[in-house]
Structure formats: structure tokens, C-alpha cells
Amino acid sequence: MRVPMSLVLITISALVISFGEASDPSPLQDFCVAISDLKNGVFVNGKFCKDPKQAKAEDFFYSGLNQAGTTNNRVKSNVTTVNVDQIPGLNTLGISLVRIDYAPYGQNPPHTHPRATEILVLVEGTLYVGFVSSNQDNNRLFTKVLNPGDVFVFPIGMIHFQVNIGKTPAVAFAGLSSQNAGVITIADTVFGSTPPINPDILAQAFQLDVNVVKDLEAKFKN
């Protein structure tokens, strides 16, 4: 039996649409290694869910973002994270929140969130913020000085930063488009990995003297 061309075209169109809409689920942690023996499985992409009938208000609640975090550290800032580990009800909802406190001239150093776009609103102080686009976009730097009430967006995966350029403390809140956005602080990751990256590799990559690299690795050693 000859199949009508119109039916063939409809079938192909349906398959194209189906393939176009299909994709792997976004990862909710750094990695999830596949195993063949289910008895050794200890984790899933995200968190296991409780019976919805057993959910309670506390599963969707967190208290404490009114309290400033300590900024007595080398970068003079503190990030208080509220994600699925603090609010179990965030599981599968694709959203989380942070409070960021900055001492005068403190910074949230260059970092990236591998699983989330960030939208930040400044509540107190003055911040200089920015992000750098990808190699394909010629690593363009996008910056802005924020005052209270201003909002800035850091696209997913882009290296970004915030610096308090004022003489008084600053406070910001940010929403992230993942229940577990993850954070990779560039300096800590490159110079403080475990085990350390070979100094010769970093010396060539950053065009530095190898002794400078060794000194940096000593400073950032975990």
C-alpha cells in the first residue's frame, strides 16, 4: 500500500518537533556517575522526594536572612546560601536565593555558577559589578556601578564579580535559576585544587614565572 506523501510529511514534522523539544535534564550537582548495579546507587540528579501527603510548612521555610554574615576573611565578603539543602521544598523547583554581605572594599571575587543565571538586587551600599562573555564573544567585559534598588543579571556560566567600592558595608540579595546553582571561584579552583595542578602548566597558561605560580598555590592551598 502506498503511503500518502502528506502523511509522510506530517510524520517527519512530528519527529522533528519531538527531537527539537527533547533534551537531557539539567544536572543538579557537579556530576552523577552512571552505574550498572543499582544496589550501589546512592544518589540521583537532585534529591529524593517525600510523600507529598507528608509535606509540611517547615519544608518551604527558612529564617535568618535578616542577619549579616561575617566578612572577616581574605575577600571581606560573605555569601549566605538558601538552596535545596536549607529549604527541602525547593527540590525540582529550579530556584534558590543568597544574601551577600560586603565589608568596605570587600568583594565577591570572580566566579561562575555552572547551573544557574543570577539576578542580583542591591539593598545597601555601592557595588561595582560585572561579567565577562565567552571566547566566542571576544571575552567582552560588561560592568555597572549599582546603587540601592538597582538590579543586574549575570548569565549562566559567565565569570562574574561584585566589589564594594564604598566606605560603608554593602548588602545584596540574588536569585539563582537552580535549586543547587554551584559556585566555582576562579582563583581558588585554579590555584587551590586538590591535588594541585602542575605549576608548569599554569605558568604557561597565565604567562607567569613558575615560582609565582608556586607561591599562589601555597596561598590558596586547601
Q: Which residues of the chain have pLDDT under 70?
A: 1-25, 31-44, 222
User: In terms of residue numbers, what domain contains 153?
Assistant: 21-52+75-182
Q: Is 217 annotated as a binding residue?
A: no
Q: Establish whether the linkage from the previous residue to 148 is cis, with ω within 30° of 0.
A: no
Q: Clarify whether residues 216 and 106 are in a common domain.
A: no
Check if the beta carbon of residue 75 is closer than 8 Å to that of residue 163: no
Q: Is 147 annotated as a binding residue?
A: no
Q: Does residue 7 belong to any structural domain of this protein? A: no
Q: Clarify whether residues 133 and 168 are in a common domain.
A: yes
Q: Is 91 annotated as a binding residue?
A: no
For residue 102, give the C-alpha cell.
Answer: 560586603
Query: CATH number for the domain including 161?
Result: 2.60.120.10
Whole-number Å distance between alpha carbons of 42 and 35 = 10
Amino acid, single-letter form, for residue 146? L
- Residue 79 is predicted with a pLDDT of 98
Q: Clarify whether residues 206 and 160 are in a common domain.
A: no
Q: Clarify whether residues 171 and 197 are in a common domain.
A: no
Q: Clarify whether residues 84 and 142 are in a common domain.
A: yes
Q: Clarify whether residues 34 and 139 are in a common domain.
A: yes
For residue 39, give the C-alpha cell.
Answer: 544496589
Write down the number of H helices and E strands in the chain.
4, 10
For residue 21, give the C-alpha cell.
Answer: 523539544
Q: Clarify whether residues 35 and 140 are in a common domain.
A: yes
- Residue 28 is predicted with a pLDDT of 72
Q: Clarify whether residues 155 and 202 are in a common domain.
A: no
Q: Is 111 annotated as a binding residue?
A: yes
Amino acid, single-letter form, for residue 1? M
Q: Clarify whether residues 90 and 177 are in a common domain.
A: yes
Whole-number Å distance between alpha carbons of 47 and 88 = 9
Residue 6 is classified by DSSP as H
Question: H or E element: which one contains 153?
Answer: strand 151-154
Q: Clarify whether residues 115 and 177 are in a common domain.
A: yes
- Residue 12 is predicted with a pLDDT of 56
Count of domains forming the chain: 2
- Residue 115 is predicted with a pLDDT of 94
Contacts of residue 45, defined as CB under 8 A and 6 or more positions apart, other chains included, come to 25, 27, 28, 29, 32
Residue 59 is classified by DSSP as G
Q: Does residue 10 belong to any structural domain of this protein? A: no
Check if the beta carbon of residue 98 is closer than 8 Å to that of residue 64: no
- Residue 49 is predicted with a pLDDT of 82
- Residue 46 is predicted with a pLDDT of 77
Q: Is 124 annotated as a binding residue?
A: no
Whole-number Å distance between alpha carbons of 40 and 134 = 39
